[in-house]
Amino acid sequence: MGVVEAFRTAFGADPETVWHAPGRVNLIGEHTDYNDGFVLPFAVPWGVTAAVSPRGDRTIRLRSLQSPSAEPVTIARHEDAEGWTRYVVGVFAMLGDQVPGADIVVDGDVPQGAGLSSSAALEVSVAGALNDLHGLGMSPMEVALLSQRAENDFVGMPCGIMDQAASALCQEGTALFLDCRSLGSRTIPLDLAAHGLRILIIDTQVHHEHAGGEYAKRRAECESAARKLGVAALRDVTDLAGALDRLRGDERRRTMHVVTENHRVEALVGLLRAGAITEIGALLNASHLSLRDQYEVSSPELDVAVEAALRGGARGARMTGGGFGGSAIALVAEDRLDSVKESVAAAYAERSWKAPRFLPAVPGPGARRLGSS
């Protein structure tokens, strides 16, 4: 059943607007966003579609086509929200008195647990719809910032701006180069097909439970290192060797990663702009090693996926997203796709791990209205 039909069944009328927001993969620039640094994500072809009508009271009635119950959940007070509904109710909480309640049906097809930002897609689809319905006049970046605040302050996940910005701002066929301090962005053409290349998502189908706690810990370590170095954020470190001399242990390693990763993003953008996409593999590989050894957010499943993809002929590969499971990406020449998949599948089978899932990553458009009645 489509989302509009489900809305009619649940609420007895057509939705006033229907919005779609995508998930993302990050080409490079990992754990740099909350350090005021650079990121280069692109939107994936999967996302969340939200059919929404405003209500005359403050109640939120919500149904997800992915939830087994056909009955909408009724949320009269924001603090009553549980589970996935918090990402939606968080958006209402951040908008406060600017909007009344709403009837909402959501339908998502972002592969669950793959680390492709289904939560950002959910927040941005609802925030985009409410912005439109109530004429709030928010720019796509303001929609992203509001969605990030919903996640930080309501859900309690201290994420940076990358996922919501990618969902709100990306454009088809391009990656989004975002300066997470100025919030200035530019679209960078990602002309994979013209070079006979593909980006393959390797979903490890594993997600480690401690990911949220480790994420907050990394963020705190970076903030502490920046304080010790007397800079506003690790993005401001210009003398890396001097900074490393002044730090120890984990904070030293985290700083090493963040500073070098920012340089890798800029280098990779430079190569793309020069039309040298075939040359970006080494930067992807270096990013992975840094995330594995310096930032310590990889996992055995991600490492094996990356190593096996390279053995199978990938031009470069790295974990993508927050880490501790989720997905890796591999840059692969079209004629090597089968051998890369076979190599990764065999490496997983040898270890008796659950088979990984392979998904093609084609850069899609960002959030947009699909229709209104």
- Annotated binding residues for substrate, written as ranges, equal 30-33, 215
Complex with ligand GAF: residue 36 or 103, whichever CB lies closer: 36
What secondary structure does DSSP assign to 289-348, as a single string?
A: HHHHHTS----HHHHHHHHHHHHTT-SEEEEESS-SEEEEEEEEEGGGHHHHHHHHHHHH
Task: Give me the least distance between CB of 34 and ligand GAF, in Å please.
Answer: 6
CA-based radius of gyration for the chain: 21
How many Cβ atoms are within 10 Å of 153's Cβ, its own excluded? 13
Residues 251-290: x where in contact with ligand GAF by CB under 6 A, - otherwise, as a string: ----------------------------------------
Task: Give me the least distance between CB of 117 and ligand GAF, in Å please.
Answer: 6
Task: Give me the least distance between CB of 293 and ligand GAF, in Å please.
Answer: 16
Q: Which residue out of 163, 203, 245, 338 is catalytically annotated? A: 163
How many Cβ atoms are within 10 Å of 65's Cβ, its own excluded? 15
Chain-centre distance for alpha carbon 63: 23
Q: Scan residues 27-46 and list those touching ligand GAF (CB under 6 A).
A: 30-31, 33-34
| Choice from 22, 90, 128, 321 touching ligand GAF (CB under 6 A) | 321
| Segment contacting ligand GAF by CB under 6 A, of 26-34, 99-107, 226-234, 340-348 | 26-34
Secondary structure class of 86 (helix, strand, coil): helix
Task: Give the total of residues touching ligand GAF (CB under 6 A).
Answer: 10
Task: Give me the least distance between CB of 23 and ligand GAF, in Å please.
Answer: 10
Q: Scan residues 155-214 and list those touching ligand GAF (CB under 6 A).
A: 159-160, 162-163
| Segment contacting ligand GAF by CB under 6 A, of 10-18, 25-33, 197-205, 332-340 | 25-33
Q: Does 322 bind ligand GAF (CB under 6 A)?
A: yes
Complex with ligand GAF: residue 36 or 107, whichever CB lies closer: 36
Complex with ligand GAF: residue 162 or 268, whichever CB lies closer: 162
Complex with ligand GAF: residue 128 or 160, whichever CB lies closer: 160
Rounded to whole angstroms, how far apart are CA atoms 205 and 115? 10
Is residue 303 annotated as a catalytic residue, yes or no?
A: no
Complex with ligand GAF: residue 72 or 321, whichever CB lies closer: 321
Task: Give me the least distance between CB of 42 and ligand GAF, in Å please.
Answer: 14
Task: Give me the least distance between CB of 159 and ligand GAF, in Å please.
Answer: 3
Which residues have CB under 8 Å from 249's CB, separation 6+?
none
Phi, psi (rounded to 5 degrees) for 129: -65, -45
Complex with ligand GAF: residue 114 or 309, whichever CB lies closer: 114
Q: Scan residues 64-83 and list those touching ligand GAF (CB under 6 A).
A: none
Binding positions for ATP: 64, 113-119
Complex with ligand GAF: residue 120 or 340, whichever CB lies closer: 120
Longest dimension (CA), the chain: 66
Binding positions: 30-33, 64, 113-119, 151, 215
Contact between 261 and 290 under an 8 Å Cβ cutoff? The reply is yes
CA distance readout (Å), 197 to 13, 226, 334: 46, 39, 5
Task: Give me the least distance between CB of 146 and ligand GAF, in Å please.
Answer: 15
What secondary structure does DSSP assign to 175-213, as a single string?
A: EEEEETTT--EEEEE--TGGGTEEEEEEEEEEE-TTHHH
Instruction: Return the DSSP state at 105.
Output: E
Contact between 50 and 61 under an 8 Å Cβ cutoff? The reply is no
Binding positions for Mg(2+): 119, 151
Rounded to whole angstroms, how far apart are CA atoms 90 and 200? 33
Per-position b or e across 221-253, b if 16+ CB within 10 A of its CB = bbeebbeebeeebbbbbeeeeebbeebeebbbb
Q: Scan residues 122-161 and list those touching ligand GAF (CB under 6 A).
A: 159-160
Which residue do the tokens 């600017």 mark?
A: 98
Which residues sit at the interface with ligand GAF, rule CB under 6 A?
30-31, 33-34, 159-160, 162-163, 321-322
| Positions marked catalytic | 163
